[in-house]
Structure 1
Amino acid sequence: MSKSNKLKIFNDPIYGFIRIPDALIFNLIADPYFQRLRRISQMGLSYLVYPGAHHTRFHHALGSMHLMQEAIQLLRFKGIEVTDEEAQGLLCAILLHDIGHGPFSHAMEHSLVEGINHEAISHLFMEVLNRKFNGSLTLGIEIFKGTYRKKFLNQLVSSQLDMDRLDYLKRDSFYTGVAEGNINAERLITMLNVVDGILVVEEKGIYSVEKFLMARRFMYWQVYLHKTGIVAEQLLIKTLQRAKELVGMNVELACSPALMFFLKNKIDKENFDLEVLDLFASLDDIDILAAIKQWQHNTDFVLSKLCGMILNRRLLNIRLKNQPEKEKRFNELFGNFRTKYKLSETETSYFVFRGIIENKAYNRHSQNINILRSNGKLLDVAKASDHLNLTSLSETVTKYYICYPKDDL
């Protein structure tokens, strides 16, 4: 796999110039599996709420790799041993950590395949690439899986304060224009250290961690779980659900061969083999959008109406509450729409439905963010902070939503 390392930098709107450190990283970026990330939206259908949110998983992967380079340099400066092989493994792991995302990222995570998440698919991609690159990714895969002996290396890739989260908060804040989500990633990285093999934050960085957790909370409720984004995502999920239902009834639908394969077949953890992986790798946002553009003219009322709603941004109305919608009100909305269009209960459920969303900005019971006190002791950030809101951020917030076509009722 020899290839000339001609491209040495990317110009990124967040960090400026991002350096590609070696030929292996360059060749990974040049691989078709990775280039596909240029066609996978980072934030699903959030551009229907925030018009600037058109950045891709490709942007995010490069940004995360850049922050990892900064973290490696900083830890080495503080006397923490990170060998050249470990550094390359870290960069491979963070570069490929999201390569398993399907079209529109999280929005369709369980629509095409069942019981297998994007992390597991990322691992499968890494194994294939490892064979392609003669075992060069073995250490990176161990770090990604968390099986490598130095735990802090995995924490840099996957934890509550990793390079992935630092980049997506800063990047998503930039592209959406939501200033509350902006964080000082460089300051946070500067405050990192390692004690007893565990990644920690020095005490003087506690306010930066507080800002990071608050920013994460703002971004979830203001952006990632924005009610309009939720209903758009649900419409996309239901569109694929209806398409699968119609294909199961032998109705002909026009779409790419790869998409048709996933519509026809139930793919789960048991049968997700290398052949399926190649078909999955040929899917991106374009397949879905092209199919939706054709399906909007389908004779099936449900499919055509769902597609038209997404394409023309004529979304369902959504109400978000702290308590579930009253059963009487839900049944009234459901019955009115069903009667108006003479639909079955199943067909009506595509347009009148309800659900639950949950969010917890900080999990005190898994991969804690530890603060290194001046006396050498470690303390969980929620206990070390004098910010009253930080403890409440570790509580799960639950909200209930109901969606229905307001104009039709």
Structure 2
Amino acid sequence: MRVQNKLKIFNDPIYGFITIPNSLIYDLIEHKFFQRLRRISQMGLSYLVYPGAHHTRFHHALGCMHLMQKAVNVLRFKGVEISEEEEQALYVAILLHDIGHGPFSHAMENSIVNNVSHEQISMMFMEHLNDKFNSSLTLAIQIFKGEYHRRFLCQLISSQLDMDRADYLKRDSFYSGVAEGNINSERLITMLHVVDDELVVEEKGIYSVEKFLVARRLMYWQTYLHKTSLVAEQLLIRMLQRAKELTHEGETLKCTEALQYFLSNDIRIENFDSNTLEVFARLDDYDIISAMKEWQYHSDFVLRNLSDMIINRDLLKIKLKKKKVQKEKLEFHRSKLMEKYNISEKEASYFVFTGEISNQAYQMKKDHINILYKSGKIENIIKASDQLNLKALSKPVTKFYMCYPKEKL
């Protein structure tokens, strides 16, 4: 019988060598559910704007686990007690926090499943794996849900200064080439401490937190909410919705079995059972890309053109505005399209639509990022900082967009 070496290391372009801390983590990484993340793009269709942004959820999950190892070491060095069981649970929870992402990350939630979030699917995967691994993920699930009695452990997984954000900002900045998002995640982690079971940042780390919040705001406007990425994702959502519509009308579309399952069935949280989870685990970016390559030659006007636009990066025009788009403008573009191609208003609405996006780098009503002074005083970063912009960062900025075709489809 071949004995596997479970003390492997990964060479990461951001942090250098990442070590696997124990055999449970190794076995989870080896599992097909986790290996699937190699085929899920971290930044969706952002590579249509930033050609280097081809990194995956697999990269990100390993990076988060690496930063969690750093955080545990820092907090223990400062006298914070973290048991071996809690340490392992933190590594498991952060490793699997994104395991429920569908193809191209967020597009799936708004198209071929009915309001089922990736967090809910991640939870289902973790519970399924917990059965397979003799309940060794129970504590990790408690922490992931935010139900564990030691609050700071939950904050390391999900808060305004968690290991998820500490990795994705630095990683997405690196791969996209957008330098404004580059943060010093290791310094941020070195400045962490725990007071009254809450995560705090030592006073000397205040400038690193300021940089972190400003970087988050800039990354959202420049990459995650970039207008080209935005219109590409909207086209992808609408393409999948159209495919689902045609399937329900009796049309058989060329695609993989896994994708066919989600097109044929109305999947909601109530009927998302273990069988659906197994099929979901077979679904990744390649299913969607291979389907689009077939659908760009389909007879249906909507499906054909939407697929062609994404495959060949010949997207709709998109305009961002500070005010809501007037109905008259939408109707003008729709009627123009209907007349030109002799299509219905419903078909035209796939190509002419409006929506809104919002950016809020720091949320005042959620967990605060608290600063710990040498005197022992604790203060919210907004009050502690002399950076006037931080208060502005706590206010949501909303923009409205309108998409419509170029002169010719």
- Whether the TM-score (by the shorter chain) exceeds 0.5 is yes
The one-letter amino acid paired with 1:378 is I
Deviation at 1:332, TM superposition (A): 1.2
Task: Return the offset for 1:3.
Answer: 6.8
- Paired residue for 2:167? 167
Distance in 1, matches of 2:195 and 2:4, equals 40
1:298 and 1:203 map into 2 onto residues whose CA distance is: 60
Partner deviation per Cα, 1:63-93 (whole Å, 9 max, x = no partner) = 0000000000000000000111110000000
Which whole-Å CA distance do the structure 2 matches of 1:407 and 1:223 have between them? 27
Corresponding position of 2:258: 258
d(CA) in 2 for partners of 1:114, 1:383: 41
Question: What residue is the counterpart of 2:325 in the other structure?
Answer: 325
Shift of 1:258: 1.1
**TM superposition shift of 1:263:** 0.5
2:370 matched to 1:370?
yes
User: What does residue range 6-405 of structure 1 map to in structure 2 within 5 Å?
Assistant: 6-405=6-405
Q: Which moved more, 1:318-327 or 1:394-403?
A: 318-327
When the two chains are superposed, the root-mean-square deviation of aligned CA atoms in Å is 1.1
Is the 8 Å Cα contact of residues 369 and 380 (structure 1) preserved in structure 2? yes
Q: Which runs of 5+ in 2 are unaligned?
A: none
Partner SS, residue 408 of structure 1: coil
Say whether the 8 Å CA contact 2:180–2:218 is kept in structure 1. Answer: yes
Call closer, same or farther: CA 1:236–1:170 in 2, change over 3 Å. same
Give 1:375 deviation, angstroms: 2.0
Contact 1:45 1:107 (C-alpha < 8 Å) held by counterparts: no
| Partners of 1:8 and 1:21 within 8 A in 2 | no
Distance 1:252 1:19 in 2: 47
**Percent identity between the two aligned chains:** 65
Q: TM-score, normalised on structure 1?
A: 0.98
Mapped partners of 1:331, 1:71: distance in 2? 54
Residue 189 of structure 1, CA deviation: 0.2
Question: d(CA) in 1 for partners of 2:72 and 2:407?
Answer: 55
SS in 2 for 1:51: coil
Return the alpha-carbon distance in structure 2 between the equivalents of residues 355 and 340 of structure 1: 24
* Runs of at least 5 residues in structure 1 that lack an aligned partner in the other structure: none
Alpha-carbon distance between aligned partners in 2 of 1:236 and 1:197, rounded to the nearest angstrom: 43
Mapped to 2, the partners of 1:105 and 1:190 lie a distance apart of 30
Query: Structure 1 residue 321: deviation in Å?
Result: 0.8
Whether the aligned pair in 2 keeps the contact of 1:5 and 1:22 (CA below 8 Å) is no
Looking at structure 1, the residues matched to 385 and 42 of structure 2 have their Cα atoms a distance apart, in angstroms, of: 32
**Contact 2:112-2:244 at 8 Å conserved across structures:** no
Question: For 1:344-376, what per-residue CA distance to the aligned partner results, in whole angstroms no more than 9, with x for missing partners?
Answer: 111000101111111111001111111112221
Counterpart-to-counterpart distance in 2, 1:327 and 1:130: 51
Provide the rounded CA distance (Å) in 2 between the counterparts of 1:81 and 1:408: 64
SS, match of residue 105 in structure 1? coil
Moved more, 143-152 or 368-377: 368-377
Alignment check: 8 A CA contact 2:6 2:22 kept:
no
Question: Which whole-Å CA distance do the structure 2 matches of 1:240 and 1:184 have between them?
Answer: 38
Count of residues in correspondence between the two structures: 408
Q: What letter is aligned with 1:224?
A: Y
